[in-house]
Chain A
Amino acid sequence: MSGQAPRPGWAAVHEAAVALVDEAGARGQVLRLVGSTGIRLHCPPAAAALDRLGRPAKDIDVVCRHEDRKGLRRLLEERGWEVDRDLLVAMEGRRYAFRHPVSGLELDVFVDRLEFCHTIELRNRLGARDVTVPVEDLLLQKLQIVRQTVTDRMDASAVLATHPVSEGSEGPEAIDARYVAGLLARDWGFHHTAIANLAALRDHPEGNGAAATVAERVAALLAAIQAAPKSVRWRARARVGERMQWWQDVDEREAVY
């Protein structure tokens, strides 16, 4: 688009993202990073690999609590961010988009949850880690995509390559398989998408030099997911299977008005 500032580099994205989380925190607001920026911040060893593979710096995606929306918007506007009016009307408080006219950065703010092909509730997990949402949710955000792109697979591989899979909360740097399996055991559609994506990661690893590690961790995750007892709703939906669409349609973000 003409008239836009050039796309900022990763360093600028990193700096702005962390500063934003800190500033919001200083005002009592809980803000956590998600998306590829969250993954790069959470997986520093993977960031270099992603750079080598040409994974470009992305916009900033954050999640906030619904009670923090007003204060957060005030903070952002004080810092020169301009709200996307179109999305403001269209999303009715469930999501916001901002753009910084000087830096050229774009910021997506999600409220309480991530709603894409599948929904990931984050409200009760926002305070669990500093700066980003927990690593399981960073991974789930990539696993919920029905038609993954190469960059989505690269991000998911980066998380798996840099974090071991555990059978419980064994610290912030391990992927809690029980949490992932428990969540997927309640939602057949999400389960169906996630295991397909995990299988693809195992069978067609992205070239980050850790294919064996990723495959081993995917296998551990799949085993946990398979072993988890499924809810009645999950079993009922499983009987219908793919005869009915199992994901929400996600459109390109175009002007609504």
Chain B
Amino acid sequence: MAKQADLAGRGVFSRPASGLIRVAGSADVFIYNVGLVSVGIAIALNQYYGPSLYPGAGIWLSTLLAALGMLAVAATFYYWSVIFPRSGGVYVSLSRGLSPGFAFVGSLVETVILLYYAAFAASLIVKVGLSSFFATVGVVAGNQTLLDWAASTAEPSGVFWIGTATLVLAGVLLATGTRRYFSVQKALFALAVAGTLVLVAVLLLGSRDTFKANLTELTGLDYAGVVAIAKQNGYETGSFNLGTSIAFLVFPLLPLLGAVQSIGLGGEVKRVRRSQLFGMLGAVAATGLLIALFDGLAAKAFGYEFQGAIGFNSISGIADGSTEASVGASPWFTVLAGILTSNVLLATVIMATFVAWIWFWVPAELAYTTRTMIAWSFDRLAPDRLGYVSQRFHTPVVAIGLSTAGAIVFMWLIAYRNIAFLSLIEALVVVWGAAMVAAILFPRTRRDLFQASPVAGSRIGGVPVMVVTAALSLAFFALVLYLLWNDPIAAGPMFTLDHLSREFWIVLGIVVFGVAWFLGTRLYRRRQGIDVDLAFRQIPIE
């Protein structure tokens, strides 16, 4: 009976007692979300793939459209985090607002996808960050050792071992405690912002002619020649096109999805209403504007057509029209910026800044998935062991270890099998879309809880604002799903009548496993005398 009482009593509004100092303030939440956006990854992907594969796309417009859609998502997640100020991500809102079974299976899918993206970010640290760092600084400094390092780090073994070391470092950081994690992130954030300001200055002050001269001097490439080679091989430049701009929005969307993930830390946030509002909506707005700004700066410094041409040559494997042969790295935005400076110190600052930006993604994803696992454990849907807290480190080392290990598996697949699970993002959009459906239904299906929550009074014309933002988010996700499904460059269909992708089998496998696990666990707990469904019946405030 004690266990039953414990489950029933662990409601959102239960057991007020001696106060609790929560760990994360507004700044921590903001930095967590901005870190998950990873401005570095966003700019790198935008400027590499946008002008090259989506010629005519206004990268800045695509970014702002993605940010606009994410503002609605952020607002809905904000409402969820106020109604259920608990850690565990969308699992918490789905389990209490829609269906415990769906919540478990959906959040299991989400967890696996986010672990893939943690590994993906770690691989980008190596490829876009370190390899480009060594290559660019090596070229600028004329240092062959750095150029050799650039080549060796880009090898599969380099990607795997350095990526794995990055994941382990992130896991160790989380294992040393959330307070330390936030302190480290704050310090790195300050450095990343400072480095970004340096980069802005470099792009603002650097001229196109300087870039052309440095490009020839450092890489042997001719600016006009790069464009000509691309055109000879089929690259078509286009004038601004709204449709292409909309089609491209899924690229900036991928990093921007991170801007709302502080929902996963809900229980650890102080003054949840203020912190999550500032942390989520602020992160979407700030990063959206910053990433869009860099498109303008890049266009000024390098030229839109040139970025498209050199990216096209790189992706197409045209060696004499790209930087791989001369620099040893793909023409990522950072490489071009390093060439523009032609200065060892500035190039080092720029490249280090991008490594820092990409790093944020790794521990933040692991933190999110760890909290989902603990929430499962506390709801008795996963073994108690998953929520085990080390008496030495005082942190949930099993959940952290499992998250890290899961990401390392994906790291191996990325490094040695060159696997890119692009369409997995479609499954994530479906899971998050379900959280929007739950938000639309919640004021009716869980009327008592909604009315007791602090958001009950937020209405437009009598309709809860949460319902409005959720409906807008759902429409946005539907557009995103359509774009992803019909764009083989960005993702492509997860399945068709003729073809079932690897991602489809992965998701299907997770779903089958998740359903079996949920039903089996519920039965097992019932035999223990525990009704796990009690955990999902929250107690409204009295």
A residues with a Cβ closer than 8 A to B are: 1-4, 35, 59, 61, 69-70, 73, 82, 85-94, 97, 101, 106, 108, 115-116, 248-257
Contact = CB atoms under 8 A, between A and B. Distances in A.
Query: Which one of A89, A97, A248, A252 has the greatest number of beta carbons of chain B within 10 Å?
Result: A89
Contact of B17 (A69, A92, A106, A115): A106
Contacts of A85: 378, 387, 389
Contacts of A70: 391
B88 A1 contact: no
B14 A3 contact: no
Interface string B69-89: 000000000000000011110
B525 interface: no
B224 interface: no
B41 to A, nearest CB: 29
Contacts of A97: 17
Contacts of A86: 10, 378
Contacts of B2: 3, 82, 101
B210 interface: no
Given A90-B268, A92-B178, A257-B371, A251 B20 contact: yes
B5 interface: yes
Contacts of B14: 1, 254-255
A249 B85 contact: no
Contact of B19 (A3, A4, A106, A116): A116
A1 B16 contact: no
Contacts of A101: 2
Which 9 residue pairs are nearest across A and B when measured between Cβ atoms? A93-B394, A3-B5, A250-B19, A256-B267, A252-B16, A1-B9, A253-B17, A253-B20, A92-B394
Contacts of A257: 86-88, 267, 371, 374-375, 378, 387
Interface string B122-134: 0000000000000
> Interface on chain B toward A: helix, strand, loop, or mixed SS?
loop
A75 B22 CA distance: 27
Contacts of A88: 389
Nearest to B92: A257
Interface string B359-392: 0000000000001001100100000000101010
Contacts, number: 111
Contacts of A61: 18
A92 B19 contact: no
Contacts of A2: 5, 8
A97 B18 CA distance: 10
Contacts of A108: 17-18
Contacts of A35: 18
B15 interface: yes
B8 A3 contact: yes
Nearest to A145: B19
A35 B391 CA distance: 26
Given A1-B5, A89-B396, A90-B268, A255 B17 contact: no
B472 interface: no
B1 interface: yes
